Amino acid sequence: MTISDDTRLVDGLAVRREVLGTEIQETLLQVAPYCGAPAALECFRVAERVLAELDAAS
């Protein structure tokens, strides 16, 4: 699995569990220093896409 695959899976599950988008963003901000800027930015991009897809589907 890549970072994108992992992030899509976790974000999708989090939203299905009624975790707010702002809570997902806050979590990503908290882990960013540990994973590094490039990986953190990719996670934010993927999270935005997942949230947009889920909004469009509902």
For the stretch 3-42, pLDDT in tens is: 677 677 776 777 677 777 788 889 889 999 998 989 888 8
- Identify the burial level of 38 via C-beta atoms within 10 angstroms of its C-beta, where 0-12 means exposed, 13-18 middle and 19 or more buried: exposed
The pLDDT of residue 33: 93
Residue corresponding to tokens 């989090």: 14
DSSP percent split of the chain into helix, strand, coil, nearest 5: 85, 0, 15
The pLDDT of residue 30: 94
Does this model's pTM top 0.85? My answer is: no
The pLDDT of residue 20: 78
